[in-house]
Structure 1
Amino acid sequence: MSLDSNRLRHTRSEEVPVKVASANRLDAVLPQRQQRTVASDQLVLGNNVLLPSRYRDGVSASLRRIPPAPPSVRERQVENIVASFLGSLERPLPEKRPLYHVVHLATEIAPVAKVGGLADVVTGLGKALQEKHHRVEIIIPKYKTLDTSLIKNFKKLEKHFFSYFDGAEHENVVWTGFVEGLRVYFIDPLHPAGFFNRGRIYCEPDDFKRFTYFSRASLEFLLQFGKRPHLIHCHDWPVAVVAPMYKFIYANAGLRAKIALTCHNFEPQGKESMEALMSCGIQFKAPLHKDHFQDNILADKINVLKSGLLHSDFITTVSPTHAREVLTPEGGEGLHTTLRSLTKKFYGIVNGIDDKVWDPATDSHLEHHFTADDLKGKELLKNKLRLRLGMAIQGIDARRPLVCCVSRLVPQKGVFLLRSAIFHTLNRGGQFILQGTSQIPEIKKEFDELAQQFEDHPHVRLILRCDETLTHNIFAAADIFVIPSMFEPCGLTQMYSMRYGTIPVVRKTGGLADSVFDVDQKYVAEEKRNGFTFNEPTEEALASTLDRAFWYFKEQPQWWKSLIQKVMRIDLSWDAAPIDQYLKLYEHTVEDGHPPASIS
């Protein structure tokens, strides 16, 4: 086994903490892990001749080993060696790429702790990196609601550790296991407030305290357990405080990592009083100034997302269009001036999807499977889903277009347009299925009443609960998937829908604009046209776009079938481009000390 293979193996020793003082003592310094590269030491040429692979640009390499051969063959063998060697100089060798140890800090991971798309991205990006042979570890809180049945080898580590908060040291228990093949550590604070012993992941009155505690505890865990990642990749505001905390506390305590921050949504930012931030040990004195945290709008509040942006080595958001949108006063949620000052380290990368989890040919959630070449299973699933939900499927009803949506019911998702889409679809002779949940009382009440209104309707169903099997069946059964978002940093549901041959109808914003291109837009290349789009966030614009989709569905059935097959063949995986863009950012930032000028 190579040195790098040994380095990447998960061993029990990784779970035993090194005896190191906590970061309250800044004189504790641990050795930085040496970076190595992966490349073959030898190149196998013809006739079992081995040469070193370190030559390029015409530099010759000495012969390492030539097997014994009779004199009559030796001349021919040498000729073959020379010919192979000279030929290899004309072919570029695979580029050596470093392997990295990447630790993701997040508040969600699919499928064990999922609220929205963040969970899918953390899992998908982690798996894609691991498939490229990088060492990936993920740290999240140990929630009471954690689905431990989906965690392999789930266990509590024997050793505990302490972290600072509110002027005292608090004990933390560490659990570990594998989620979708990824090593995950779950931080379980023994804090009297029971920060994660709640019935939900978000929307607690002390969210700011909960997640700043978790952020500090995560860094302390890395320090005390002897982990020395090349990169710490943070996701969204709950762990954005890691960036300044690392730079002004933990970099001096022994950690030597670069900090990446991916912002999946700029709307929640972590705004609180100055005193609330000091609970996790941050003191405002040079070189850490108050204005690094001060909110751009509310001068008496701090903003941890803003500070995370300033102190990260690079920032990404989840689509190029959204990266441009947040530079404007309309889209920047008050952070546009900060982001404009950081454009040299700010990038937009469209998320990928896990095409092994989301695959209609093998999906374990589906009773029937289908491919672009054989769509029979999709029609069977459409009828079975409607029958299961008590909807009409006989006679003329069998041919009605089925419009669906799976979404969090929040203002960002255009809930008033979703409501309008249900009634418009019904008026145009279609059927509608909505699956979603809301933690906003007014919206929850409105959709609870709507679900009751349509409880026995033959053409409409509202399922206001989470059910992963139902979700997969909705994507597979639907004809049309509607996403009328007010803004959408990336969006994954339009990609899932296309993977399952369901045509997206979307508002042209953020990542939706980067992934869905209207079938009637002549200036867009034919091969890229894959759905229906509208610009204005109005009921009229959505209705008009749905009408175009209904017309094609009813009047052009063969064209519609071709569109289904076309969207199913689009590569929307992490390997299609996103993973290489992230690796370019990682490599430049670690090797050169700064991110690249471009990731294209």
Structure 2
Amino acid sequence: MELLLNAPLSKLPPLPKICATKRKPLGARLPSCLGVERHDDMDVHKDLPQSMDHEPKEKQNDIWQLFTEAQQNILYLNKQRLTALEELDELKRENTALLDRIEQLEAKMLLNTEKEMDTLSISSELLLRIDSMVLSGMIDNAEASDLRRLVMNSRMSIAANLFQNTHKKDSELLVELRHFSSKSKKKGFHIVHISAEMAPVVSVGSLASYVTGLSCALQRKGHVVEVILPKYACLNLDEVQGLREVEAEVYSFFNGQLHKNRIWTGVVFGIGVTFIQPVYYSAFFSHERVYGYGNDFERFTYFSRASLDYLVKSGKKPDIVHIHNWETSIVGPLFWDVFVNQGLEGTRILLTCQGFDSQCLQRPEKLALCGLDPSRLHRPDRLQDNNKTHMVNILKGGVVYSNKVIVIASMQTKAHLITELGHGMEPTLAIHKDKLLIAPYGFDKSVWDPSVDKFLPESYSEEDMKGKSVCKISLQKHLGLTKNASMILKCCNSRLVAC
């Protein structure tokens, strides 16, 4: 060990000189083995700069450029990502605000719907649901009558209590009705129209608007009104609320057999409406028009009989059955000869005629189609036509078998109506004059007199016309017209009928 420490160091060779100003990067040095001779080691390091000089500078520039572009792309994508996240957050905020607005509008709509859901619509729907309960065998006729009386006598309170329950099934609604047992002190009439028309569901002439207008007016006065219509193929169902088919079989008699009918119910302007759709005789009401076919007598006789069968089947006991024109006049003889003793002893028949020009004359044997006895009815005091005695007159049967007859006419006296407007029915009208009532159209001079009309801004008369110009200007202002007393103004007060 001492010999090694005291041995003299051999002289190291001098390091090669490197110019400081022209030095080029050599890259990483290659490791050298200690056993390699000095001259070989110098040769290796001497050759490295020469190999690097052969790499083109363009390649280095390309690599640097690619690196720069990649870095820029990363920065751009990151910026786009941040922008997209900000937009997504903004969309989320807008979506949340929109959902909140929708909830507010739905709550407001629900509140408005509850306010607009008037008492009459709810009462009508409840009555129709009671019909469904009877037809399905859920309740008997006695309980149905009690429930109908409950609805009719307690409209306001029952609407407030059962508004949230009308969407329930019949069985659930029945429980609620049974719980609601209080009765109103005042009782209105229960009126059922059996009609061929009702505006706007099916409208051909003045009958449609008359049925709808009268029904709404009577219901506003506290009466409960329903309408039974054929289910025509040409119905306008846009204004029918809650249209549904009753899941029960209702049969009616026609041509010696019982035939099945489909029953539909809905509400129109607060009025309960029932649609009767024949199954076997489906062609009766599948036409494009309401009237004007060779089998009109058979069509409307079937409907009239089916309507009465439906009343009995559903357990209804209306105070008044209101029929219209010849199309449903056969209800009168059917009611008193067939149905009065089937729970309808307290019901009365009211006929409205839009005129006596359309009466429907038929052979007597056709009465048997609906279950009537031709031999009993083909008599002068019943349905036999006054002029063509071999025929029966359907409208005459309605007049004879109704308790009251309303005639829609201009301002005519009853005597003038009988003698001048009877169209061959003058003897019958004279016999039954005590049951005739005139429903006038036009205007009554005793009421619409400008000299005494308190609703005019100024009165005037034929002798003193000073106030007329004031009334004209007031009318122009009310209608949004140019105010000019000297301008000619024509007014017309009339019903509108589609051509």
**By the TM > 0.5 criterion, same fold?**
yes
- Residue 305 of structure 1 aligns with an amino acid whose one-letter code is L
Equivalent position of 2:195 in the other structure: 106
Greater fraction of residues in helix: 2
Structure 1 CA distance, aligned partners of 2:143 and 2:336? 17
Distance 1:98 1:202, change over 3 A: same
Structure 1 CA distance, aligned partners of 2:274 and 2:422? 33
Structure 1 CA distance, aligned partners of 2:250 and 2:238? 26
SS at the partner of 2:283?
coil
- Residue 117 of structure 1 aligns with an amino acid whose one-letter code is S
Equivalent position of 1:281 in the other structure: 371
Equivalent position of 1:154 in the other structure: 243
Structure 1 CA distance, aligned partners of 2:425 and 2:452? 37
Per-residue CA deviation, residues 83-135 of structure 1 (Å, 9 max, x unaligned), is: xxxxxxxxxxxxx9641111011000111100111111111111111112221
- Residue 250 of structure 2 aligns with an amino acid whose one-letter code is F
- Residue 526 of structure 1 aligns with an amino acid whose one-letter code is S
Equivalent position of 1:135 in the other structure: 224
Distance 1:133 1:9, change over 3 A: farther
Q: Does 1:342 align with 2:267?
A: no
Which residue of 197, 209, 212 maps to 2:298? 209
Equivalent position of 2:92 in the other structure: none
Do the aligned residues in 1 keep the contact of 2:201 with 2:239 (CA within 8 Å)? yes
Do the aligned residues in 1 keep the contact of 2:419 with 2:426 (CA within 8 Å)? yes
Structure 1 CA distance, aligned partners of 2:475 and 2:386? 46
Equivalent position of 2:129 in the other structure: 12
Structure 2 CA distance, aligned partners of 1:529 and 1:337? 43
Per-residue CA deviation, residues 537-567 of structure 1 (Å, 9 max, x unaligned), is: xxxxxxxxxxxxxxx9xxx976644566899
Equivalent position of 2:343 in the other structure: 254
Alpha-carbon deviation of 1:324? 2.7
SS at the partner of 2:242?
strand
Per-residue CA deviation, residues 285-325 of structure 1 (Å, 9 max, x unaligned), is: 55x55331011111121111111111111111124734637
Under a length normalisation based on structure 1, what TM-score does the superposition of the two structures give? 0.47
Equivalent position of 2:105 in the other structure: none
Equivalent position of 1:171 in the other structure: 260
Structure 1 CA distance, aligned partners of 2:263 and 2:210? 23
Gaps of 5+ in 2: 1-121, 155-184, 456-464, 481-490, 494-499
Distance 1:323 1:276, change over 3 A: farther
Equivalent position of 1:299 in the other structure: 389
Do the aligned residues in 2 keep the contact of 1:113 with 1:145 (CA within 8 Å)? yes
SS at the partner of 1:261?
strand
Identity level (%): 32
Relative contact order, higher structure (CA 8 A, sep 6+) = 1
Do the aligned residues in 2 keep the contact of 1:327 with 1:340 (CA within 8 Å)? no
Which residue of 176, 184, 191 maps to 2:273? 184
Do the aligned residues in 1 keep the contact of 2:329 with 2:351 (CA within 8 Å)? yes
SS at the partner of 2:251?
strand
Distance 1:32 1:160, change over 3 A: closer
Per-residue CA deviation, residues 134-181 of structure 1 (Å, 9 max, x unaligned), is: 211110100000012221111111112111111121111111111112
Which residue of 204, 207, 211 maps to 1:122? 211
Alpha-carbon deviation of 1:215? 0.4
Equivalent position of 1:308 in the other structure: 398
- Residue 129 of structure 2 aligns with an amino acid whose one-letter code is R
Structure 2 CA distance, aligned partners of 1:296 and 1:566? 53
Alpha-carbon deviation of 1:205? 1.3
Do the aligned residues in 2 keep the contact of 1:163 with 1:171 (CA within 8 Å)? yes
Do the aligned residues in 2 keep the contact of 1:104 with 1:137 (CA within 8 Å)? yes
Alpha-carbon deviation of 1:526? 2.9
Structure 1 CA distance, aligned partners of 2:143 and 2:405? 27
Per-residue CA deviation, residues 359-396 of structure 1 (Å, 9 max, x unaligned), is: xxxxxxxxxxxxxxxxxxxxxxxxxxxxxxxxxxxxxx
Do the aligned residues in 2 keep the contact of 1:294 with 1:303 (CA within 8 Å)? yes
* Higher-Rg member (1/2): 2
Under a length normalisation based on structure 2, what TM-score does the superposition of the two structures give? 0.56
Structure 2 CA distance, aligned partners of 1:19 and 1:343? 44
Which residue of 512, 518, 526 maps to 2:451? 526
Gaps of 5+ in 1: 21-28, 40-95, 351-510, 531-551, 573-600
Structure 2 CA distance, aligned partners of 1:31 and 1:342? 38
Equivalence map 1:350-499=2 (5 Å):
350=440
Do the aligned residues in 2 keep the contact of 1:323 with 1:347 (CA within 8 Å)? no
SS at the partner of 1:317?
strand
Do the aligned residues in 1 keep the contact of 2:134 with 2:144 (CA within 8 Å)? no
Do the aligned residues in 2 keep the contact of 1:270 with 1:303 (CA within 8 Å)? yes
SS at the partner of 1:195?
helix
Equivalence map 1:230-241=2 (5 Å):
230-241=319-330
- Residue 182 of structure 1 aligns with an amino acid whose one-letter code is I
Which residue of 361, 370, 388 maps to 1:271? 361
